[in-house]
Every structure is written in C-alpha cells, then in structure tokens.
Amino acid sequence: MSYGYGSRRGRRGGRSFGDGGDDERWDRHRGTTWAGAGAGGAGPGASGGGGGGAAQRNLGWEEQGASAGRGGGSRGRHPAHLKGREIGLWYAKRGGMKRKEEERKSRAVVQMDESREEHITQLLNKVQRDTPAAASSGAAGATPVKQHSYFDGEEPPKEAPPAERKEVKETPKDRSLEFLFQELVRNSTLDQELKRDLQSKRSDQKYLEMLKFREKLPSYGMKEELVQLIRANQVMVVSGETGCGKTTQVTQFILDDSIQRGMGSICRVVCTQPRRISAISVAERVAAERAEAVGEGNSCGYQIRLQSRLPRKQGSMLYCTTGIILQWLRSDPHLSSVSHLVLDEIHERNLQSDVLITIIKDLLRVREDIKVILMSATLNAEKFSRYFGNCPMIHIPGFTYPVKEYLLEDVVQMLRYRPQSQDRRPKWKRRFMQGQMSRPEKEQKEEEYQESWPCYARTLRDRYSDSTIEVLEMMDDDDKVDLSLIVELIKYIVLQEEDGAILVFLPGWDNISGLNDLLMAQQMLKSDKFIIIPLHSLMPTVSQTQVFKKPPPGVRKIVIATNIAETSITIDDVVYVIDGGKIKETHFDTQNNISTMTAEWVSLANAKQRKGRAGRVSPGKCYHLYNGLRASLLDAYQLPEIQRTPLEELCLQIKILKLGRIASFLQKAMDPPSEQAVQLAITHLMELNALDHHEELTPLGFHLARLPVEPHIGKMILFGALLGCLDPVLTIAASLSFKDPFFIPLGKEKLADMRRKALSKNSKSDHLTVVNAFWGWEEAKRRGYKCEREYCWDNFLSANTLQMLHNMKGQFAEHLLCAGFVSSKDPKDPASNINSDNEKLLKAVIVAGLYPKVAKIRPSFSKKRPGVKVYTKADGKVNIHPKSVNAEETEFHYTWLIYHLKMKTSSIFLYDCTEVSPFSLLFFGGDISIQKDQEQDTIAVDEWIVFQSPARIAHLVKNLKTELDSLLEEKIKNPQPVDWSNSKSKDCAVILAIIDLITTQESNAGSSGGTQAGGRYYD
C-alpha cells in the first residue's frame, strides 16, 4: 500500500508512505532508506511484477533517477525501458529523493542569541579550566564523535570500582522491614501465654459463631491431614476449588497447631497474595474468624505497599503481597524470621510469584527448618509438585453447587440464532487466508482447527440442525465476540429461566461498552426490574460497589465484566454465567521489541473459574460461546507472564538480590523466558547504563533497582530530583507505574475527553495533564471533602487513584532521601521544587527518563482524517491512542513526541505522549554528533534526530551536553542535593545554563509559530 506521489504506479508493492512513496523506516545506519516498493500494474503497458522488495543500491537507482527526463520526458514519467517491479522502485526512489530534499529544507533550526552564546562560552571556559579532563573530552570536530556519556550508556570509569559505589543500607527503621527484623527466639513463658489465649477463645461467643461457619468449609474437614503433612514435609502443594477455604484456614491451622504444641513463640506464618485487595480482605476475614481486630498486636495482620497493620511479633500470621517478600529478600536473603511461607494463588503465574518460587527453591537448601506451602487451583498442581522434587500434594474439594455447561452449538440451537453478517463464507477460512496470525503457536492452533472442522461438523449432524452447523461455520471468528448473540441469550434467560444474577465475561472495555449500549437499547431491559453494571478498571469505583449488593426481589442484576470477576472478586448471587470465550492478554514480541495486546481464547483454567462463579448459592448454568472443537484445543492455562513481558525491571531485581548471572538464574525458573527476551532486556539496561558490560549494577543501576518502578520511570525520578522539579515528576512517575486517575463512564466518553483536554491546558502532554489534574485535586482537597468530591466528579477523576498516587509519591521521596538525592521526604519540599513551575523543563525531564521512546510528527493532508501522522524509528507509521489529549491535535510547535507505552492491538498505538523541543532532545536524549549534510550544518541525536544548526552553535551545545553528562555522572555516584543557593558553583552553573536555554528557546518558538527552535513540519 502506498500513498501520495507514487501511489498510482505501485499500489501492490510493499509499504510506502508520505508524499514520495518512501517508507523511510529510519534504518540504524544513517542514510539508508527502505523503500517497500513494489510493482503490479505500474503504468500503461507495464505488466504486473512481483514486488515488495527493499530498494537496493545495485538496482542502479542513481542511473534511473538521472534518466528521469529521458524516458518519460518533461512530464516526469519513468524511463521507457523499465518494466514491472523496476518502475515501482524508480518512483519510490524519486519520491525518496524529493522527500529528503524537503526534509532538509524544513529541519528545525537550533540557534541562540549572541549574548547567550557569549555567556555559555564563558561558562564552559571557566568550567573546563576548573576541570581540565572535561575540556579534553569535550573537544569537538566536524566529524561525528561518540559522546562518552557515562549516564547514557557507557562503561563506568575504571576509577569507580564497585567497592567505592555508594550503597543504601536498609535499617530496621525502615517501616516496610519492621515485621522482618524480629528474631525467632523460643520463649517458654510466651508459649504458655499464647496457649492460654487460644483456649480462652473457646468461651468467646463471637469466636464460637465463626467456628460453626468454619467447620462447614471443606478445608476444615481435612485439618488433621493438612497439619500432619505440613509437619512431616518441608514443601507441599495444596490444591483446591474456589470456596473451599484454603486461603483463610491453612494459615490458622498452622498457627493453632504450633500454639497447642507449646511452640507458638517460634511460629511466624507469612502468606503471599497476588493482589493488594486480596491481602487486606483475607486478613480482615481471618481476624474476624478469630474474634480479633486485624493488626494491633493481635494474631493476624497484613502488609502491602505503602500500608500495613502488623500482627504481634511472635505467634502470628501476616498476609502480604508477593512484592513485599521480594523486598525483604534484599535485606535478609534467608528470610530467617519466617517459620512458614505460604505462597497462595500460584497458578496465576504472574512475574513476581514465578521469580519468588525460583528463589525459594534455592533457599530450601540453606534453610532446612523453613516450611513452604504452595497453594494452587487444581489444574496445574502437579507441575508445581514436580518442580519441587515431586513433593506431596493434597486436594481439597470445592464447595459449590452443580453447574450445567452449554457450548456454542447448544446456544445457537436453543435460540435458533442467525448472525446479522451477510458474508456466509466460514469466518475461519477468511481469517486463515488473510494470514492474520500474531504468533506461530497461535497459527499452528488455527491450522489444526481448520483441518479438524469438517470431521467435527459431521459429528454434530446427529444432534444439531443443518442451520445450526451452518451458523457455527460463520460465527467462529478468532478476533470478535458476537455481542448480538449475547443480547439474545440474556433475553432468553430473562424470559425462560429462574431468578438469579447474570454475569457476562468479555475481554475488554470496547466489548463492555458495546454490549452495554445494545442492552440499553432493548425496551424490555429499560425498566427498573433490571440493574446493568459494567465492571472494568476504567469504570468509577462508586458504581462498582453495587455489584456486590443483592438486588430487591423481582429485580435481576446483569454484570458485564472482564476476567477481574474470575478470581479477584466474588459476586455471591450469580446463577447464570455467559463466557464470551476471550481474554485480553499482553505478549512481548522480542523481534520487533513491542508489546501486543490481543483478545485470545481463554484457557481451560479460565473457563473452569468462570463456570465456578455460577454455583455459589444455587445450581447454575454456564454458557461458553465457543464450540466443542475449539474447547478441545484450548490451552490448559495461560502462558506465564515471565514468557510474555519485557524483563528489564526483573533483571535489575535479580542483580540487586545478588542472584548471580541473569540468564543463569532465569534458566532455573519453572518456565524460563526465551534467550532473546533475556538478552534484549540486558542490552536495554546497558544502553540505559543501569548495567555495565560485565553485567554488574552501575551506580545508576543500583539506584534504579531500589526504586519500585521500571527503569525508565526510575531514571525520570532521579532527574526530577537533580533538576529541582520533584513534585510534578513524582506525579508523572506514579501515574505511569500505577495508572492515571481518569475514569470513563459509559455514555459520557466525549464529555470525559473534553474535561481531560481542558486539564491539559494546551500543554500537548498527557503527562502534564495528570500533573494539572493532581494539583487541582490537592487544591480542592484543601478546601474540604465536598469540594474534593465535586472536583473529581466534574473532571471524571478517581479520588481513590489520586490518593494512591499521593501515597506512592511519598514512598518515592523516601527512597530519594534514603539515597541522598534530596534533603526531605516531603515531595513538596521547596528545596526540591525550585523549578517545578517550569513546564519546559518538566518536558525535558520526561525526555531524560523516557528516551529513546521518541516519535516524529508529520502533517496529514487527508480530508477524511485531518490532523497529523506519527512515525517511530522502529515501526514506521503508528497512531496516537484515542484517549490521549493529542489524539485529535492538529497544531504542534515541534515535530517530536516522547511516549511511555506503545502497544500493538488493532494497530500500533502510543497510549501517552508529550510534545518536546529540539533542545530537550539534545540535552537529555542520547549521544549527539555534528556533521554536514550537503551544504547544511547539522547536529544529530543518536544520528537519526537531526536539526539544522550553525557549526559554532552545534559545538557549543555539544560541549555543554558533555559537561551535563559529567555532572550527572558525579551526582549519581555521589548523591547529594543540588545547592541552588550557590549559582556560581559548577553544579548550578551548568544546570542553570541548560534550563535557561531550554526555557527561552521554547518561549521564542511558541511566540513565533514554532519556527525558531521548533522548525516546520518535516513534510
């Protein structure tokens, strides 16, 4: 597909875009252009050729370009002797030459006024006199010279060996380690006290009432067997169905058994949970069952990030998130104060639990006294047992009513349903012929499905009508959920079945929104006899609380949810489950270095969990919207997260936990990630200068590993501290590592977009929009609860999320104080926020953290889609996500965006972005080089972000950048707050010069239409 100039002559060739039909994929080698030219039906008399090949020098483009006036003459036609594919290549080449010339003419100009140039020259002379080594390293010539920027990716200097690196030592004063730093010492007096306390509960009426409930749980009936196995084995696996009580009871069995045996003082049970909400709610439930308050020195407490209610020091149970244990391991690799470690919900296979399991397997050899209990769903319990040397397993039966299951063929036959689509060709044939498979294993499954379908269809003929089988052939689309079918099924349940809530599982927001609209359009569902509740992370929390409330008699509740309703929450009154058969899953494409999110078929584990939701209070029914053949091809469970996500943050954790070589450690995991994924992560960390070339942590890497965020966000936090704009940068960092505070109520999407746009204050930045929203919330909160509530309501903001961001900022500031980068743990400390009102600097700090996640803007001349086109170096054309404030922006001062999250769904989307200036990229991006492009002096960042600049200014900027790198290197090795009061110090002088330059140039650019520093668009 090609657009613009060459499109009429090479439509079926490769991919080319822009006026000249030039793909311009910004190849790593400067000057190389990939022209996905092709060739069918190129022009009058030309025969269709093959095509799609890359434009190569040996095809004689230079000669073809030179003959433009000969073969086709003045009309600009191709030479007559060219045929087929060569014609497409000729036009692509000519278009590429035209584009390069236009780009050269329209490059942004980097310049400065004479007084500033003189001031910076004097500053550099003074700094370089004070530090002679810097002067020699900053010598600039006309040819590109790679900057030895320690901070941006070079080997650490030899004079800074690991022994000299400043480390932050955890102390018992760290509140997150309070529970850990308590020795397990036998105390016979305490043993007797704990025993008497447990016996006294037998006379507590509240305890006895709870005990009656506990005794009805399946797990309670197996108490003695569980206790005996735990006593006799170092490791064991407990599997059980939802509702069997394993999470709340096993910890109590362990504690009570220890206390009754007079060993309570050396019993400390820690139970991990994959989610914060689970840790809190389970701890509160267990405490209630023991007739106690949670924490407060009683037997049960919890600890999650930023929040804890700790139990008594000895003879206790603690529920915590998996991340807390990993944090403890930094300070105590043996977990010496833990007697029993219970790892719950391990079947979910998230990244942290897989890493913890790998560490624990090694730990068992060192700590023979620790007991490890693995708790899992039934489906893959045997796999965990094998990983731990075939350790014993015990199964606890479920506590649910029978649930009758239906497949797609049953639903279609029952409803006599026919899809609205007019295309009667089987969808699996269309899909397969289009070659839309995203991964090899998925493609293999579809091949197997295609081959097996005719045979399966024959087996259906005895039980189902020909019409049903025909509909099944049309419906089984790999990418879509048939919402119309779900509407018909809901209507059938409402009219034909008994009372009971209906729970619909869908993969994502777009499906939930679409089904909600279809249901609201049904006249019969508009009455007050129905409550329709969408359940998604983007929905306001207020509306989600009613999901747990049982409606009045005669009112039916319909819940539309993602897989959050599989395990994270339990809706007790659900009787009917409609399983859409899909789940949103992220994968990481190591070849293209991009995350993808697609709706995949559920696993058997998902399907089983969904079915189980229907049998909590009475016999239920579950409708799976996939056929029997598809059901036979479902994976047993989802791919472990460690095999489908980027691994940079994990690699840093491995190094700070001193677990050895990264690849060697990960190879020991239950399901190791690919070698390519591991190597890519290590390479990225070396480019970031978090790891040196010996795969050891650099000073920067050490600090990034301590921060509980992914490395790029951690780097942004450090820059915010160093450059005196801490508070807003911490807000951005918290929102990027957790989530932004905006929600989207159904039916008000456009209004929500307008409010978000208004909060952007024309900053052309999603990141600064969050800062503005946060500052507005803080101001409203100061005026009182009513003002806070109104502000959040008017701007579609979640007060809970904003409070979480506030708490996270405090945690980040404590890390920075502990490391020595700031002098106060208050994010709003004036000494750390001297530049926080400088929007231009904030954008530069975002560049410092997120680089090289840069995209290029070009105008769009399309009448159908006005606005801009956006390109990245690796992907070519991408899209700004619709929820971004820049999604429909048509006017930018500059031609560059910085972003954090890029993901491929239906297209490649940038989920967040900020417009940034040339000087931001020059000073806080990668290596800069100076070169000549024909008659034009240029300065380039990493040889692909190129600006026009007079040679002397380019050298000045390059030298100033060298000084900045040197300063940052020193600050990272020896952290200390910048003394802003001493403007004559080297620290202040260099930083203030750069801040002044960035701020002034941006102001000039904005006032003059973006022509001074911003330049024009590249088209």
How many CB atoms sit inside 10 A of residue 119's CB? 15
What whole-number distance in Å separates Cα of residue 749 and Cα of residue 766?
Answer: 17
Q: Which of 298-307, 548-557, 857-866 has the lowest mean pLDDT?
A: 857-866
pLDDT tens digits for range 342-352: 999 888 888 89
Specify if 690 maps to a domain: no
321 and 457 belong to one structural domain: no
What's the confidence (pLDDT) of residue 682?
94
pLDDT at residue 166 is higher than 60: no
pLDDT tens digits for range 55-69: 333 333 333 333 333
CB distance 861 to 937 below 8 Å: no
865 contact partners, CB below 8 Å, separation of at least 6: none
What whole-number distance in Å separates Cα of residue 738 and Cα of residue 731?
Answer: 11
pLDDT at residue 150 is higher than 60: no
What whole-number distance in Å separates Cα of residue 399 and Cα of residue 387?
Answer: 28
**Alpha-carbon distance values, 835 to 5, 721, 732, 736, 828 (Å):** 47, 10, 15, 21, 12
144 and 194 belong to one structural domain: no
Number of domains in the chain: 4
Q: What is the CATH number of the domain that holds 282?
A: 3.40.50.300
Which among 875, 870, 874 is positioned nearest to 886, based on CA atoms? 870
What whole-number distance in Å separates Cα of residue 474 and Cα of residue 466?
Answer: 13
Which among 70, 91, 88 is positioned nearest to 79, based on CA atoms? 70
Q: Which of 70-79, 235-244, 258-267, 459-468 has the lowest mean pLDDT?
A: 70-79
385 and 285 belong to one structural domain: yes
3-state SS, residue 517: helix
Specify if 111 maps to a domain: no
CB distance 468 to 410 below 8 Å: no
**Token pair belonging to 745:** 């109520």
Q: What is the 3-state secondary structure (H, E, C) of 388-417?
A: CCCCCEEEECCCCCCEEEECHHHHHHHHCC
pLDDT tens digits for range 502-556: 999 998 877 888 888 888 888 888 788 888 888 766 555 445 556 777 888 888 9
pLDDT tens digits for range 568-577: 566 778 899 9
3-state helix, strand, coil in the chain (%, to 5): 45, 15, 40
618 and 508 belong to one structural domain: yes
What are 319's strand-pairing partners? 271, 302
17 and 138 belong to one structural domain: no
pLDDT tens digits for range 318-370: 999 998 999 899 888 999 899 999 999 888 888 899 999 999 999 999 999 99
**Alpha-carbon distance values, 375 to 238, 272, 280, 398, 892 (Å):** 5, 10, 18, 14, 54
**Token pair belonging to 540:** 């306001």
What is the band of 184 on the pLDDT scale with cuts at 50, 70, 90?
confident
**Alpha-carbon distance values, 817 to 547, 732, 824, 825 (Å):** 42, 19, 6, 6
Q: Write down the H helix ranges in 560-616.
A: 564-567, 604-612
What's the confidence (pLDDT) of residue 523?
82
CB distance 832 to 822 below 8 Å: yes
3-state SS, residue 525: helix
Mean pLDDT of 237-244: 84
Last residue of a domain, one of 604, 623, 639: 639
pLDDT at residue 14 is higher than 60: no
Last residue of a domain, one of 396, 424, 457: 396
369 contact partners, CB below 8 Å, separation of at least 6: 339
β-pair type (908-910, 902-904): antiparallel
Specify if 220 maps to a domain: yes
Last residue of a domain, one of 396, 422, 444: 396
Structural Rg of the chain based on CA atoms:
32
What whole-number distance in Å separates Cα of residue 125 and Cα of residue 395?
Answer: 75
What's the confidence (pLDDT) of residue 87?
77
What sign for the dihedral angle of Cα 908, 914, 919, 922?
A: negative
What is the band of 850 on the pLDDT scale with cuts at 50, 70, 90?
very high
**Token pair belonging to 460:** 């259906």
As a whole-number percent, the residues of the chain with pLDDT over 70 amount to 78
Specify if 22 maps to a domain: yes
Specify if 657 maps to a domain: no
pLDDT at residue 113 is higher than 90: no
What's the confidence (pLDDT) of residue 64?
37
pLDDT at residue 164 is higher than 80: no
Helix H or strand E encompassing 634: none
* 643-646, Cβ contacts within 8 angstroms, sequence gap of 24 or more: 643/671, 643/673, 643/674, 643/677, 644/585, 644/586, 644/587, 644/588, 645/351, 645/586, 645/588, 645/595, 646/588, 646/595, 646/677, 646/680, 646/681
pLDDT at residue 24 is higher than 70: no
The CA dihedral of 735, 739, 743, 744, to the nearest 10 degrees, is 120
151 and 187 belong to one structural domain: no
What whole-number distance in Å separates Cα of residue 553 and Cα of residue 445?
Answer: 46
362 and 433 belong to one structural domain: no
What's the confidence (pLDDT) of residue 905?
82
CB distance 21 to 37 below 8 Å: yes
What's the confidence (pLDDT) of residue 479?
62
What's the confidence (pLDDT) of residue 106?
55
882 and 738 belong to one structural domain: yes
What sign for the dihedral angle of Cα 1010, 1015, 1016, 1019?
A: negative
* 68-71, Cβ contacts within 8 angstroms, sequence gap of 24 or more: 68/94
As a whole-number percent, the residues of the chain with pLDDT over 90 amount to 37
What's the confidence (pLDDT) of residue 516?
86
Residue 1013 is which amino acid? A
**Token pair belonging to 225:** 């067997």
Q: Give the angle 964-970-976 at the CA atoms, nearest 5°.
A: 110
pLDDT tens digits for range 388-399: 999 999 999 876
Question: Which of 49-53, 179-183, 377-381, 510-514 holds the top average pLDDT?
Answer: 510-514
Specify if 313 maps to a domain: yes
pLDDT at residue 424 is higher than 50: no
pLDDT at residue 653 is higher than 50: yes
CB distance 497 to 576 below 8 Å: yes
270 contact partners, CB below 8 Å, separation of at least 6: 317, 318, 320, 325, 338, 340, 341, 342
Specify if 685 maps to a domain: no
744 and 629 belong to one structural domain: no
Specify if 437 maps to a domain: yes
| Mean residue pLDDT across the chain | 79
What is the band of 677 on the pLDDT scale with cuts at 50, 70, 90?
very high
* Structural domain for 822, as ranges: 116-165+698-1019
**Alpha-carbon distance values, 673 to 29, 355, 482, 901 (Å):** 30, 11, 34, 22
β-pair type (340-343, 371-376): parallel
Q: Give the angle 250-253-259 at the CA atoms, nearest 5°.
A: 145
Helix 699-706 × helix 711-722 angle, to 10°: 100
380 and 415 belong to one structural domain: no
Count of helices and strands (H, E) across the chain: 37, 26
What whole-number distance in Å separates Cα of residue 67 and Cα of residue 61?
Answer: 10
92 and 214 belong to one structural domain: no
What's the confidence (pLDDT) of residue 434?
40
Kindly report the length of the chain: 1019
330 and 456 belong to one structural domain: no
